[in-house]
Amino acid sequence: MLRIIKDRKTKYTSIGYSCTKELWDDKKSLPRRKHPLSKELTIVIEKKINDAKTSLLNLENEKDNFFTEELKGKILRTTKKTTLFQYLDLIVKELYDTDRVSYARSHKDLIRELRKFTKGKDLKFSDVSTYFLRGFEQDFKQRGFKGNTMGIYFRTLRAIYNKAVKDGYARKETSPFNDFSISHMKNKTQKRAIPKSDVRKLQALNFEAESSLFHSKNFFLFSYFCSGINFLDIAKLTTENFSVVGEKIFLNYTRSKTKENFVLQLTPAAIEIYTYYIANRYSDYLFPFLDSNSHKTAISIFNRLEKVKKAVNKDLKEMAKLAQINEKLTTYVARHTFATVMKRTGVSTSKISEMMGHQSEAITQAYLAEFENDELYEASLLL
């Protein structure tokens, strides 16, 4: 035990090892030489004492007065016992319970890849060393994983380790990410945008009303004409997201990924699409991708939109052939095209930043948040 005395108050905390009385030297407070692990235990004890002294010095520098319990907690943080996979399972359950389905899936993907790498063997947090991370990365490379994909797994694992530190299951001082960088895994994503002339080709395509191609075309154009709203946010739009003020129609929504709120005025092209679905809607949702009567839980909505997104991308591929567009069309191309066309039209980057040109999407959103709706509306009319 390590004894802590402050203001004549004594606290004891275990260092995690034990020794029989006959093998212990009371005068030196160390194991006797005849102890089979004398050297190893002595090193552990001396390290614990040095760590405690360092932490005590830091506490004294931070504040003049502190309590014995605080001193005990700060100096000798004991880690709770759990395995990595047990902890991951708890996180996945919490994410599902709070309807954060997408994050839960990404954690389950990490569990799958970790089990492959460890051949099903469970791990303690102390097993996740820098050496382990290097081996995990090498395993990904041998299986042909790209840098961006690997980065997603490692950022998730790093976030889990940091959470484990806060929850008392791991120690910050021994984090393998102190000496392991993820930045080298990030590849520059290939830009995907089509010129304004190709957008006009898509507009000129005619499909039978209520057909799959008809809805996919309207989704792409609505995204393009509404500041590049992504698929998930468009699919979840309901009539409550829109407000009519005189002859103007405004869209107010919260982005699923960043939880940021956006308000924008619909352009005439977007109003045309909006008006059609308001007149022909069969549920609370604007687009017919979700049914409020059938898709009530976060998991059912997630699963449904995963299927719909694949179907829309398939339709966009077909539309590209019909319109003789060489670029591969996906739901994300509308978002990128909006930013690129705005920039090429002459709108300054101080108003609308090219979304895919920033190091992170947060920077782009920070630029967009600075401008009034009227300025964004005037700029979007150039589309």
How, if at all, do strands 261-265 and 248-254 pair? antiparallel
Closest CA to 127 of 91, 174, 166, 89: 174
Range with lowest mean pLDDT among 26-30, 251-255, 280-284: 280-284
- Predicted confidence at residue 141, as pLDDT, reads 93
| Residues facing residue 262 across a β-bridge | 253
pLDDT of residue 368: 39
Structure tokens at 255: 């982005």
5-19, 68-82, 230-244: which range is least confident on average?
Answer: 68-82
| CATH class of the domain at 196-380 | mainly alpha
For 187-233, write each residue's pLDDT tens digit. 655 557 888 899 999 999 999 999 999 999 999 999 999 888 889 99
Answer whether 242's CB lies under 8 Å from 274's CB.
yes
For 183-200, what is the HEC assignment?
HHHCCCCCCCCCCHHHHH
283-322: pLDDT as tens digits: 789 999 988 888 888 888 889 999 999 999 999 999 999 9
What residues contact residue 139 under an 8 Å CB cut-off, 6+ apart?
A: 116, 117
Euclidean distance between CA atoms 65 and 19, whole angstroms: 35
Structural domain spans, the chain: 2-75, 84-185, 196-380
User: What confidence category does residue 357 fall into, taking pLDDT thresholds of 50, 70 and 90?
Assistant: very low
pLDDT higher than 90, residue 348: no
pLDDT of 382 strictly over 70: no
What pLDDT is attached to residue 358? 40
Pair type for strands 9-13 and 2-6: antiparallel
